[in-house]
Structure 1
């Protein structure tokens, strides 16, 4: 009889571990995940298709800037906090000095972000600014100068969110330059040690 109870305990512990791993990979905030990608992808698609959809430059420009603004606000204020537990903002002190604040949720907490949401967040956050930079170069090469301001707006707004969240992830006190230098130094040391081991 005792043996049956212990098997039941083993099964329940095993199921709990499966439930925990399923919770890690499950998307907890599907609406936030959808809008994290919707505004970003829509802005790029409207830019690429606006000459075919409408002959009005002003209508295309306004639509793209509205989508980029909605994306900036949504990512900065909602999806970063919900999907990865990060947020950043600017506050003005009593002295009138502007101070940037970068925060990350400490530890695992009671509601840790899922791996799927984290992957969606970071892929969307990194890939779209790269697309806007490519579009900026293609705008310069193809001499579509009237679109340059719109493309630069995409680079600036999405680049600002990328910079803010990278600072949140790395830590507000750590300089990105120091982090990059440290990483390159570690890679050089590993390469040197592996070359010495081979010879």
Structure 2
């Protein structure tokens, strides 16, 4: 309970005194110009894949809520740890394999080549089944903001000297940072030579060695 109140107090303090949310949106607007316009009052909210948009946010948002409230629901750290990691595992799989492909036409994975070296593989698509601009904004905002929230939890746990919770936060950051890193590299690779007439996943791959 005290951990939750400390986190809530610090979050309110930064929002009220430093306009953290506004500054975050401005940063996102430079990284992804369409992200900031999600909050514009005149936007036409159209959804081609509503279920994918919902589950893109569902698991990661529920994991954050459980982290904040788990001490009220259960006094068992093990139960909270298992539940949050399970939610983030579902989130990792769904974002990596489903929502990225449907909402923004991107997909990434890591594979081992014949020499035993790890390779990043990226695919892009510009077909008609790709999500709308609204869905793309939801995808990128959810992908970026949630790891930032977990990073905030990392510092609150660190300054509170709550080591066991710190281990959970580090694991959570690892899950979400992997997808964020993969999709940012995939987006950057897809803008370098992807043919404009592509209508489906054609196997256009951008392979880069992790050691580079």
Q: Normalising by the residue count of structure 1, what TM-score does the alignment of the two structures yield?
A: 0.71
Cross-structure match for 1:56: 76
Of 118, 122, 146 in structure 1, the residue corresponding to residue 140 of structure 2 is: 122
Question: Is 1:30–2:50 an aligned residue pair?
Answer: yes
Cross-structure match for 1:99: 119
- Unaligned runs of 5+ residues in structure 2 are 1-43, 193-212
Q: Structure 1 residue runs of 4+, over 2 Å off? A: 108-113
Cross-structure match for 1:154: 172
Whole-Å separation in 2 of the counterparts to 1:111 and 1:73: 20
Of 102, 106, 111 in structure 2, the residue corresponding to residue 82 of structure 1 is: 102
Q: Verify the 8 A CA contact 1:133 1:155 in the aligned structure 2.
A: yes
Q: Normalising by the residue count of structure 2, what TM-score does the alignment of the two structures yield?
A: 0.67
1:172 offset after TM fit, Å?
6.7
Q: Verify the 8 A CA contact 1:101 1:172 in the aligned structure 2.
A: no
Cross-structure match for 1:177: none
Residue correspondences, number: 149
- Unaligned runs of 5+ residues in structure 1 are 1-23, 175-199
More helix by share: 1
Whole-Å separation in 2 of the counterparts to 1:33 and 1:65: 21
Whole-Å separation in 2 of the counterparts to 1:31 and 1:109: 19
- 86 and 126 in structure 1: CA distance in 2 versus 1, 3 angstrom threshold: same
Whole-Å separation in 2 of the counterparts to 1:31 and 1:154: 24
Whole-Å separation in 2 of the counterparts to 1:109 and 1:79: 15
Cross-structure match for 2:181: 163
Look up the SS of the partner of 1:126 in the other structure: helix
Name the Cα RMSD after superposition.
1.7
Whole-Å separation in 2 of the counterparts to 1:94 and 1:88: 19
Whole-Å separation in 1 of the counterparts to 2:91 and 2:132: 22
Question: Is 1:113–2:131 an aligned residue pair?
Answer: yes
Of 59, 62, 65 in structure 2, the residue corresponding to residue 42 of structure 1 is: 62
Question: Is 1:144–2:167 an aligned residue pair?
Answer: no
Residues 162-185 of structure 1, C-alpha deviation per residue, up to 9 Å, x if partnerless? 1111111111797xxxxxxxxxxx
